[in-house]
Structure 1
Amino acid sequence: MNDAESEGAEVNERASFAPVRGQMKLEVGALVQQGKAVYRIAQLLDLTTLVGMEVESGRASVLRIRELTPLQSASETQPNTDLEDVADEGWRIAQQRFASIAPLIHQPFMTALQVETRAQEVGVNAATLYRWIGRYRESGVVTALIPFKRGWKEGRGRIAVPAEAVIAEVIKNYYLNQQRPGVEKTVREVQRLCLERGITAPSPTAIRARIARVPERERLRSRGFAEQARHKFTPAAGKFPGADFPLSVVQIDHTPLDIIVVDDEHRQPIGRPYVTIATDVYSRVITGYYLSLDAPSATSVAMAVAHSILSKEEWLILHDVKAEWPVWGIPKTIHVDNGAEFRSGTFQRACTQYGIHLEYRPLMRPQFGGNVERVIGTTLREIHDLPGTTFSSVKERAGYDSEKQSALTLSELERWLVTWLCTVYLRRKHASIGTDPLTKWQLGLLGNAEVVGIGIPALPADRMTLLLDFLPSYTRTIQTFGVSIEGWTYYDSALRPWINAKDQDTGRGRKFTFRRDPRDISSVWFFDPELRSYFKIPFSDIRTPSLSAWEDAQIKERLKREGTTQPTTDDLLRALSGLREQVDAAKSRTKKARRQAQRQKVHKQGVTPAEPLAMTESALLVPSTSAATAPLLVGDIQPFGEIE
């Protein structure tokens, strides 16, 4: 193979991969790899190192967690597919089974009595419950609970739609009322109504399983225990219900930061950036974030959640921060407000896949979001010491020209933020928990003489699979020209076998799943259902430069004003060129144009939590000798005092 062929093969390898949704378990007895060597974990030393016994030689070695990879498994409980390709029947069965085992899998310790009791509640035998628990724990994803033969195919559900409707009706109008009928009476009522309406009645087991899926809060409130529900699920001051161990509840929220940043080229003001922060309620640890010039969106949520779940070593390298941030893992519950960005179908489905309970803040109950808001408040107060701060009010800002004093670029601000987070916030005593967040986090995981830890969280086996699961998806047919998504055409030879493919059941054009990062829509990820792999598909017109979904919206609005309602590719390219020429001409004069140009530059870099080092380090790292940041990192970060 010559150099050109070798280079091409390397590119192709990067442009395709098979999704893997398993996990690397970090617990005593689990198998892991370091290079080609296989180790069995013998002891967990701390959150960064462990002792492993090499399987082949029996020799003990101290291993760094960041250098380990999961042992490749051929288990059939990890089918490779895109989440959008899972049949509705499969989702129903998997969610039903997950609801049955959820009260058990999130407990640090599980007894045989608890399994027997739960098995009776959901109407299955204990052996079945143990099997479901084993399959879920092996992979860490809900789709592992789909039946092998039925779950991945289109077809009728196990219960006919009319019968499902009867069950839902009876649960709502009969079971969830203050007369409090028992489960068996509810089963008989479903069977009675089905007989009365000429519908084949579901099995008692199926009916019990659906009753078991009713959330406890709804069950208590609807059956006359409103006060008990309020007492159990309403947080007292300084406490959130259920946040009893690390990752039990992670809260996420957004805010514009109280600082004006400058662009990279002219170092002139471009306005305030936004940050999305995820925080662990139990320990107050910041588990992840997303900093951007874009307003909060579904993309912000996807990036913040992925950053929260994944390990941070490469992220620290990216920002040249010499510190530790040993925080990762899939949360039990993600708690958010009622913003549209948290209610997308993609986000909800991805949370379901990873066994994450998505809980929305009750309207008019601000105390439910207090933890993340206090963390955000702490972050904003620290920023008030930086040049270009807008403070938190006009009164505080009196006599201070924020734009004139602005000095930090977005990347310099991010480096400051990561440094402060790792060296100050995580290690400074928090008033409400009596210790620093990192110590509380470590105590909850590893335990001590008085506290039993839950163990170190598992790491996702494949970073890119995790990120794609949370990114926006599209279903499209594939034509001779490729695939069209929102006016742009994409093509690659990977699409060729599926051109004009027909759905075997309907005879219509078969639809396939595509995913993309809105920050750069110059390519999409296509999931090939036969090869069970993702392929990166670029624009079909090689003249088209990289652009973001936000630029796309701008140029289409511009064409619409000009009277072009169905633009061709040439129309879109012409409008994009005009927009960028306008920005280039104005960026030395206007803040809006500079912000637009800077957004374009950041989007083009393609940095994600899954691929932090996507660009060369020299192009992305902030020099440690930056005149703007050096005095801040040395003199303005003080690791003393308590966080409110």
Structure 2
Amino acid sequence: MTDQGDSNQELVPFEPDRARVDANIDSMVAYADHVYRVSQVLDFTTVIGIDVESGRAAALPIAALKPVAKEKVEGLYAYYDIAAVAAEEWAIAQKRYAAIQPLIGNVVVGRKEVEQRAEEVGVGAATLYRWLGKYRDWGELLALIPRKRGWQQGNSRISAEAEEIIRSVIKGFYLSHQRPTAQEAVERVKEACEAKNIASPSPSAIRARINQVSEKEFFRGRGFAEIARNKYTPSPGSFPGADFPLSVVQIDHTPIDVMLVDNVHRLSIGRMWLTLAICVHTRMITGYYLALDEPSGISVAMCVAHSALPKEDWLTVHGVEGEWPVWGFPVVLHSDNGPDFQAETLKRSCLLYGIENRFRPVKRPKFGGHIERLLGTFMKKVHSLPGTTFGNVDDRDGYDSEGKAALTVDEFEVWLVREILKYHQEYHSKIFMSPARKWHVGIFGNLGVDPLVGMPMRPTDPFTIQRDFLPSFERTIQHYGVEFDVRYYSEALRPWINAKDEETGKTRKFIFRRDPRDISVIWFFDPVLKQYFKIPVANQAFPAASVWEYRAAKKKAVDEGRAHINEELIKRYIIENRELVASAQARTKQARRQVERHRRHSKNVTPAQPQPQPVQAPQEQPAFATGMVDFDLNSFGDVS
């Protein structure tokens, strides 16, 4: 996976950035080195912002907005890779989240409600307030985990007295019916600090804390409690809990009922798999993923990442004109009980972003009816395409699906994106309007109808989102680097060679993440710097390959009875396989499918990086004309 830079830039660190932009009214956003307060939301692309310094209004593109930077708190788990969190700490966070969950969706959280809930869960009201505040400030479950050992309260650059003054001014002055500006609140903090003869925090630090005030608290404090209640209280729906946009998203897979062709000879390579996600309340398609391999954990991860991320660049890359204004994380991810949906990495990643994994009862397909009907609808659409396999044997009788196949994978994907946008605009009999209109009404409201929710929070760093959903693993770091199928090395690993765990005295294990479609690089999370480093394969001549390709080559070596298997041998077999496939692709569908799979993976197109990346050609290798054996590649797919 080469989502940021090439392999020569592995020493450039990337810090996890899970911040999201709140583009709703009265939220604080950053744009072109200025801080603005959103005064009006025009549509899904533009808001009107008021510069907090000059007071001037400006039209701001939502896609270019950034959150106002929060000051980093040492020891806070929000900066960690989620795999670094021990099971016991996850249990603490989940227990705290369960305690505050009934209060999270409330616009007005009264003292009586908090005290009642505190008594139910057996903690103090002040503790419950603190947990609720942490979750609202950071918007992720990691904030509820106790801070790392060694963190000291005095580490903050702002004194405790100044922090108390800021809290007091926000609560007693800024969140009042007089509705003062953020600049007036900054001045009030400065005056109070001067009166007590303590150092005043910087204006940016004060604004950062003002920006941490949730929109619901803002409405309540400034006299808009009723408006906020109407805006954010969901109304009943037909599917349990699917009462507002993104409240429930269903996801599932299906093989596509159409044969596709390779790019060179336009001959059949078989069918693909489609993973699709749908918002149950609005029927909007939130994301998809296409693969030549059977569904796996990576299929789910990529679909969820695509669902959460904005789609503007995705449409541009595929040359499709239109709007797909869907982004943000669902409250509930609803799926069947397949192992790809039950993966522990997926569960943790969903938990991190506040997504509840909910599984439909076994052998009760009606509980997944929305996504099942949608997949059925799209399969009917492909029956009009050349190369369709139709839905049953009778329809297929006398039709040569492979002989009629005409669309390449890229061409089919463009067709699919256009059909998705078309579907969004079509009348839906179950919701009595188009999905696009239902989505718009749910977020912005309509004449006489209050909005159910505001604009979904927009992720700012797509690569962090995507990495959080990639498979993770733990390995020790040796003098040669780290080994996982193949060996990887970078200078970023040097400080941790043979490092010992202080508590157990054993060799310490570190967290790595990898995209199974490209094992030429992995991501290493430095536990001290709280940053990721891209680690390339130690043998720089090793070609970019997917897990299935690597393991197919390894299987070939085993089948030949090799007593000693090394990377040079496996590299040779990968190259030999490609040469064999290249010469055979005009003759066999399986070989052409393998070529297309490698071509698709090597483009490194992901939800976080829709633009194809240039692929560095491997060094020229001698052709090995002997020793080739037949082997079956069908059982080697993407492995999560």
Measured against the shorter chain, the TM-score band is: 0.7 to 0.9
Question: Which secondary structure state, in structure 2, belongs to the residue aligned with residue 251 of structure 1?
Answer: strand
CA distance in 2 between partners of 1:351 and 1:249 (Å): 13
> Is the counterpart of residue 523 in structure 1 residue 521 in structure 2?
yes
**Alpha carbons of 1:56 and 1:260: their partners in 2 closer, same or farther (altered >3 Å)?**
same
Tell me the CA shift for residue 421 of structure 1. 1.0
Structure 1 partner of 2:609: 611
Structure 2 partner of 1:3: none
Structure 1 partner of 2:22: 25
Structure 1 partner of 2:586: 588
**Alpha carbons of 1:93 and 1:151: their partners in 2 closer, same or farther (altered >3 Å)?**
farther
Alpha carbons 1:21, 1:78 under 8 Å: kept: no
Structure 2 partner of 1:504: 502
> Is the counterpart of residue 239 in structure 1 residue 211 in structure 2?
no
> Is the counterpart of residue 383 in structure 1 residue 382 in structure 2?
yes
Structure 2 counterpart of 1:581, one-letter code: E
Structure 2 counterpart of 1:437, one-letter code: P
Structure 1 counterpart of 2:14, one-letter code: F
Structure 2 partner of 1:156: none
**Alpha carbons of 1:527 and 1:437: their partners in 2 closer, same or farther (altered >3 Å)?**
same
CA distance in 2 between partners of 1:240 and 1:563 (Å): 57
Residues 172-229 of structure 1 show CA distances to partners (whole Å, capped at 9, x for unaligned) of xxxxxxxxxxxxxxxxxxxxxxxxxxxxxxxxxxxxxxxxxxxxxxxxxxxxxxxxxx
1:126-275 aligned within 5 A? 126-150=125-149, 239-275=238-274
TM-score for both structures, normalised by structure 2: 0.79
Structure 1 counterpart of 2:49, one-letter code: G
Alpha carbons 2:11, 2:491 under 8 Å: kept: no
Structure 2 partner of 1:64: 61
Structure 2 counterpart of 1:30, one-letter code: S
Alpha carbons 2:254, 2:275 under 8 Å: kept: yes
Question: Which secondary structure state, in structure 2, belongs to the residue aligned with residue 16 of structure 1?
Answer: coil
Tell me the CA shift for residue 273 of structure 1. 0.8
Alpha carbons 1:22, 1:141 under 8 Å: kept: no
Tell me the CA shift for residue 111 of structure 1. 5.3
CA distance in 1 between partners of 2:151 and 2:483 (Å): 26
CA distance in 2 between partners of 1:399 and 1:8 (Å): 51
The partner residue of 1:443 within 428, 441, 444 is 441
Tell me the CA shift for residue 339 of structure 1. 0.8
**Alpha carbons of 1:322 and 1:393: their partners in 2 closer, same or farther (altered >3 Å)?**
same
Residues 214-264 of structure 1 show CA distances to partners (whole Å, capped at 9, x for unaligned) of xxxxxxxxxxxxxxxxxxxxxx9x932111111111110000111111111
**Alpha carbons of 1:278 and 1:107: their partners in 2 closer, same or farther (altered >3 Å)?**
farther
Residues 580-608 of structure 1 show CA distances to partners (whole Å, capped at 9, x for unaligned) of 22211211110000000110011011111
Alpha carbons 2:140, 2:353 under 8 Å: kept: yes
Structure 1 partner of 2:597: 599
Tell me the CA shift for residue 117 of structure 1. 3.1
1:47-62 aligned within 5 A? 47-62=44-59
Structure 1 partner of 2:576: 578
Tell me the CA shift for residue 543 of structure 1. 1.1
Structure 2 counterpart of 1:128, one-letter code: T
Tell me the CA shift for residue 562 of structure 1. 1.6
Question: Which secondary structure state, in structure 2, belongs to the residue aligned with residue 94 of structure 1?
Answer: helix
> Is the counterpart of residue 44 in structure 1 residue 41 in structure 2?
yes
Tell me the CA shift for residue 104 of structure 1. 2.5
CA distance in 1 between partners of 2:406 and 2:133 (Å): 54
Alpha carbons 2:11, 2:533 under 8 Å: kept: no
Structure 2 counterpart of 1:282, one-letter code: H
Question: Which secondary structure state, in structure 2, belongs to the residue aligned with residue 341 of structure 1?
Answer: coil
Question: Which secondary structure state, in structure 2, belongs to the residue aligned with residue 315 of structure 1?
Answer: helix
Structural RMSD (CA): 2.4
The partner residue of 2:32 within 28, 35, 40 is 35
CA distance in 1 between partners of 2:289 and 2:392 (Å): 24
Alpha carbons 1:522, 1:545 under 8 Å: kept: yes
Question: Which secondary structure state, in structure 1, belongs to the residue aligned with residue 63 of structure 2?
Answer: helix
CA distance in 2 between partners of 1:344 and 1:491 (Å): 28
CA distance in 1 between partners of 2:391 and 2:414 (Å): 22
Tell me the CA shift for residue 149 of structure 1. 4.4
**Alpha carbons of 1:16 and 1:489: their partners in 2 closer, same or farther (altered >3 Å)?**
same
Question: Which secondary structure state, in structure 1, belongs to the residue aligned with residue 323 of structure 2?
Answer: coil
CA distance in 2 between partners of 1:272 and 1:114 (Å): 55
Question: Which secondary structure state, in structure 2, belongs to the residue aligned with residue 291 of structure 1?
Answer: strand
Residues 326-345 of structure 1 show CA distances to partners (whole Å, capped at 9, x for unaligned) of 00111111011111111111
Structure 2 counterpart of 1:65, one-letter code: I
**Alpha carbons of 1:110 and 1:395: their partners in 2 closer, same or farther (altered >3 Å)?**
farther
Structure 2 counterpart of 1:297, one-letter code: S
CA distance in 1 between partners of 2:606 and 2:12 (Å): 16
Bigger mean CA offset, 359-368 vs 553-562 = 553-562
1:86-97 aligned within 5 A? 86-97=85-96
Structure 2 partner of 1:625: none
**Alpha carbons of 1:530 and 1:140: their partners in 2 closer, same or farther (altered >3 Å)?**
same
Structure 1 counterpart of 2:603, one-letter code: Q
The partner residue of 1:74 within 53, 71, 74 is 71
Question: Which secondary structure state, in structure 1, belongs to the residue aligned with residue 98 of structure 2?
Answer: helix
Structure 2 counterpart of 1:463, one-letter code: P
**Alpha carbons of 1:479 and 1:616: their partners in 2 closer, same or farther (altered >3 Å)?**
closer
Structure 1 partner of 2:317: 318
Tell me the CA shift for residue 109 of structure 1. 6.3
Structure 1 partner of 2:635: none
> Is the counterpart of residue 398 in structure 1 residue 368 in structure 2?
no
Residues 410-453 of structure 1 show CA distances to partners (whole Å, capped at 9, x for unaligned) of 1111111111211x101111111111111111211222322342
Number of corresponding residues: 526
Report sequence identity in percent. 49
Alpha carbons 2:7, 2:536 under 8 Å: kept: no
CA distance in 2 between partners of 1:509 and 1:536 (Å): 22
**Alpha carbons of 1:616 and 1:49: their partners in 2 closer, same or farther (altered >3 Å)?**
farther
Question: Which secondary structure state, in structure 1, belongs to the residue aligned with residue 387 of structure 2?
Answer: coil
Tell me the CA shift for residue 398 of structure 1. 2.7
Question: Which secondary structure state, in structure 2, belongs to the residue aligned with residue 362 of structure 1?
Answer: coil
Structure 2 partner of 1:159: none
Structure 2 counterpart of 1:27, one-letter code: N
Structure 2 partner of 1:165: none
CA distance in 2 between partners of 1:554 and 1:398 (Å): 35
1:345-494 aligned within 5 A? 345-422=344-421, 424-448=422-446, 449-486=448-485, 488-494=486-492
Alpha carbons 1:260, 1:390 under 8 Å: kept: yes
Structure 2 partner of 1:624: none
CA distance in 2 between partners of 1:14 and 1:244 (Å): 46
Residues 271-295 of structure 1 show CA distances to partners (whole Å, capped at 9, x for unaligned) of 1111100111111110000011121
Alpha carbons 2:7, 2:534 under 8 Å: kept: no
Residues 622-643 of structure 1 show CA distances to partners (whole Å, capped at 9, x for unaligned) of xxxxxxxxxxxxxxxxxxxxxx
CA distance in 1 between partners of 2:315 and 2:597 (Å): 22
CA distance in 1 between partners of 2:8 and 2:52 (Å): 35
Tell me the CA shift for residue 27 of structure 1. 2.1
Tell me the CA shift for residue 71 of structure 1. 2.2
CA distance in 2 between partners of 1:24 and 1:565 (Å): 56
Tell me the CA shift for residue 11 of structure 1. 5.8
> Is the counterpart of residue 308 in structure 1 residue 307 in structure 2?
yes
> Is the counterpart of residue 513 in structure 1 residue 516 in structure 2?
no
Tell me the CA shift for residue 107 of structure 1. 5.0
Structure 2 partner of 1:232: none
CA distance in 1 between partners of 2:604 and 2:537 (Å): 16
CA distance in 1 between partners of 2:128 and 2:583 (Å): 66
Structure 2 counterpart of 1:273, one-letter code: M
CA distance in 2 between partners of 1:333 and 1:397 (Å): 38
Structure 2 counterpart of 1:596, one-letter code: Q
CA distance in 1 between partners of 2:414 and 2:465 (Å): 25
Residues 98-119 of structure 1 show CA distances to partners (whole Å, capped at 9, x for unaligned) of 1112222245665555434323
Bigger mean CA offset, 589-598 vs 108-117 = 108-117
Structure 1 counterpart of 2:125, one-letter code: A
Bigger mean CA offset, 306-315 vs 376-385 = 376-385
